[in-house]
Amino acid sequence: MYESVRRRIEAESKDFPDDCAAPTGHLTDIRNLDRKFGGRVVRAHQRGLRSSQLFSWAFSPAWEEGGTRSRTGDVDETHKNFSSPNGVYLRHTASGAAIFRWPDPQLAFIDTTLYEVNILPVLTANCTQRKSTTVAAQWIRIAYHDMSTHDVNDGSGGLDASIVFELDRPQNVGTGMRDSLNDFTSSTSPHVGMADIIAMGAVLGVASCGGPVIPYRGGRIDAQVAGPATVPEPQQDLQSHIDAFKRQGFTQAEMIALVACGHSLGGVRRDDFPQIVDATAPNGFANFDGIPLKFDNAVVTEYLDDTTANPLVKTANVTTRSDLRIFSSDGNATMQSIASPDNFSKTCATLLERMINTVPKDVTLTEPVEPIESKVGGVALIPQNGSYVLRASLRRLSTNPNRVVTMFWEERNGQGSFCPPAGCPVNSTSPSVSGVSSFAALKGVNKFATYIFNAQIPLNTSVSKFWFTVDEKDGSGPQVVDNGGSGFVIDQDTVLFDPSRTSATRTSFSLVIAVRTADATGSNPPIVSIETYQPGGPDFIPTIQTVGVQQDTTHAATDAYTFFTANIFAGITAIHVNSIIGGKIFSQYVGSSDFRVIL
């Protein structure tokens, strides 16, 4: 089977029938094809594009335009010296923010992780302390250490999660590195890897300690091997630091400011650097400034007025006074320029954003991901009791007791024979109101309202797409939510993940896949497999496995469907259902929050 699928994938876009579903689940084959076509296919795959979408996006002129690397402009005159984005590759849209077009598992996952009540914002909420420092300080440190492999001369390296393979290096000493990766590993997905989560950690950490709200972009691709050993260490001379930051894309002034920003939180642990921290330090830890639980300019002002206890400035070991050498290297001009709280905050926002957006040259980042105004999720088409049930949800960024949300759907077969021209309407349940992350609150979002729909659809008509109207009852009239005009397309009903027949225990899932019997006839029996994604364990590397699927004898064929089943571990967070039916390839992705919600 797999050789057959691989050959089909490698045949280029012209060999894919327009109506076949994308083989997006075969990650190994996608990556092989990606190497052949210079990185385009993985980025298409990360966007969750299917079949004809995947290849038309990856190889069309529109891809070239959308993937153009662009340099950002100056932030303002005060901070223009800190805004040259060497190594930052961005995709721009007119709106300035990423546009969600369902299905987009990448943006959907980022939105869920950043803005819904989720583990990462909780771990660092209110500048959480850990082991005499803060979670935020550890997350900022690992982000810089991961990014530091970047070389502006050849575009290699950057924030790519190569740090996972670099933990044994002296430059990465300390429990904070492994603690941070342990924090991050359960939050990865097939479309948002460790590199994206490391960048997300820096954004969340800074904001949780009262620092600036840094725009977040996704799209990083995880490295498969270690990068060069490039983090400058305290005992190295000034020129070594200047050279290292220059190679990473930062000028001397930017180096000074970025070190000050990074050292607004955290400090040095005696267990890691006994040559820097002496035995008198409380709990064996020396903070960089006197306000360790706040992201502020104290690291600058205390240095300038000579009240600092920063161990990299005041340590008795002159050789390791790296902050002193860096801060004073331009006669304190840069430190004085960022001494005010406002200038410090703006400069740090600019430089830290550049830091996390410094990526290998073949990686193109999304636009900033803001909370999605109308987020569709939990979509499943299920054959049940002589008809289909179409499940879907619509999440809005605010509550309104007067709001009326209606879903409409259109037939796949015999258009107009069942639904009126305006579509078949479906009323929602009462909205489910849920809390938001502390980071979402900083964006002005206080509550989510989610509307759930269950539409009964005849088997003979099926469904081709659905959409919504939202009426706030404020005199503005209904708003149409239709995925940018295309509707939310159900592109096939041949192979369907069936949550209603799927069962779960504490340790495993028995997943059920429905295959339409009429499409499975012929000399070639249906071939169905499930590719599973399990977030990384002790080595922080996710496990991706293909699980064979057998015909299910406990669920008799009904509603024109035959059922297949596979048993998987309960720790799985996402699946791709892949199949070859009647000579065509079909795929369905069910990921993360949807995977749990629709069961």
- For residues 54 and 56, give the distance between their C-alpha atoms in angstroms, rounded to a whole number: 6
pLDDT at 544: 93
Regarding predicted confidence, which is higher, 32 or 124?
124
pLDDT at 6: 37
- pLDDT band of residue 569 (cuts 50, 70, 90) is confident
Residue 51, pLDDT > 70, answer no
Residue ranges of the chain that CATH labels 1.10.520.10: 109-356
Percent of the chain topping pLDDT 90: 70
Task: Give me the residues paired with residue 287 across strands.
Answer: 267
Distance of CA 264 to the CA centre of its chain: 26
Residue by residue, DSSP assigns 545-576 as EEEE-EE-SSS--BTTEEEEEEEEETT--EEE
pLDDT at 96: 79
> In a 10 Å sphere around its CB, with 0-12 CB exposed, 13-18 middle and 19+ buried, how is residue 344 labelled?
buried
Residue count of the chain: 599
Using an 8 Å Cβ cutoff, are 598 and 380 in contact? yes
pLDDT digits 0-9 by tens, 444-459: 999 999 999 999 999 9
Q: Give the CA distances from residue 260 to residues 334, 352, 446, in Å, rounded to whole numbers and listed in that order.
A: 10, 11, 33
pLDDT digits 0-9 by tens, 460-487: 999 999 999 999 999 999 999 999 999 9
pLDDT digits 0-9 by tens, 3-48: 333 333 344 333 333 333 333 333 333 333 343 333 434 444 444 4
pLDDT digits 0-9 by tens, 572-581: 899 999 999 8
Q: Which range, of 42-46, 525-529, 594-598, averages the lowest pLDDT?
A: 42-46
- For residues 316 and 305, give the distance between their C-alpha atoms in angstroms, rounded to a whole number: 19
Q: What per-residue string of b and e applies to 17-28 under the rule 16 or more CB within 10 Å gives b?
A: eeebbbbbbbbe
- For residues 109 and 104, give the distance between their C-alpha atoms in angstroms, rounded to a whole number: 9
pLDDT at 443: 95
Residue 364, pLDDT > 90, answer yes
Residue 57, pLDDT > 60, answer no
pLDDT at 570: 83
Q: What per-residue string of b and e applies to 419-443 under the rule 16 or more CB within 10 Å gives b?
A: beeebbebebeebeeeebbbbbeeb
User: Which residues 6+ apart lie within 8 Å of 366 measured at CB?
Assistant: 91, 98, 106, 107, 217, 218, 219
Using an 8 Å Cβ cutoff, are 330 and 242 in contact? no
Percent of the chain topping pLDDT 70: 82
Task: Give me the residues paired with residue 375 across strands.
Answer: 395
Q: What share of the chain is helix, strand, coil (3-state, %, to 5)?
A: 30, 20, 45
Q: Is 1.10.520.10 the CATH classification of the domain at 109-356?
A: yes
Evaluate the CA torsion angle 195, 197, 198, 200 in order and state its sign: positive
pLDDT at 525: 83
Q: Taking the model in full, what pTM does it have?
A: 0.85
pLDDT digits 0-9 by tens, 209-255: 999 999 999 999 999 999 998 888 899 899 999 999 999 999 999 99
Report the chain's terminal Cα–Cα distance, integer Å: 29
Using an 8 Å Cβ cutoff, are 147 and 158 in contact? yes
Q: Is 2.60.40.2440 the CATH classification of the domain at 1-64+491-599?
A: yes
Task: Give mean pLDDT, residues 292-314.
Answer: 97
Highest mean pLDDT among 229-238, 369-378, 535-544, 563-572: 369-378
Q: Which range, of 78-82, 371-375, 387-391, 530-534, averages the lowest pLDDT?
A: 78-82
pLDDT at 265: 97
- In the chain, the amino acid numbered 384 is Q
pLDDT digits 0-9 by tens, 60-114: 322 222 222 222 223 333 333 455 455 655 544 445 789 999 999 999 999 999 9
Using an 8 Å Cβ cutoff, are 580 and 526 in contact? yes
Residue 58, pLDDT > 60, answer no
pLDDT at 593: 60
User: Three-class SS of residue 232?
Assistant: coil
pLDDT at 571: 87
Angle made by CA atoms 435, 437, 439, in degrees to the nearest 5: 145
pLDDT at 19: 35
User: Which residues 6+ apart lie within 8 Å of 449 measured at CB?
Assistant: 395, 396, 398, 399, 400, 403, 431, 432, 433
What value does the CA radius of gyration of the chain take, rounded to a whole number of Å? 26
Residue ranges of the chain that CATH labels 2.60.40.2440: 1-64+491-599, 374-489
What's the mean pLDDT when you consider all of the chain? Answer: 84
Regarding predicted confidence, which is higher, 500 or 115?
115
Using an 8 Å Cβ cutoff, are 439 and 121 in contact? yes
- For residues 109 and 449, give the distance between their C-alpha atoms in angstroms, rounded to a whole number: 18
- The CATH homologous superfamily to which domain 374-489 belongs is Carbohydrate binding type-21 domain (2.60.40.2440)
Q: What per-residue string of b and e applies to 48-64 under the rule 16 or more CB within 10 Å gives b?
A: bbbbbbbbbbbbeeebe
- For residues 529 and 2, give the distance between their C-alpha atoms in angstroms, rounded to a whole number: 10
pLDDT at 89: 57
pLDDT at 480: 97
User: Three-class SS of residue 539?
Assistant: coil
User: Which residues 6+ apart lie within 8 Å of 200 measured at CB?
Assistant: 110, 113, 114, 120, 187, 216
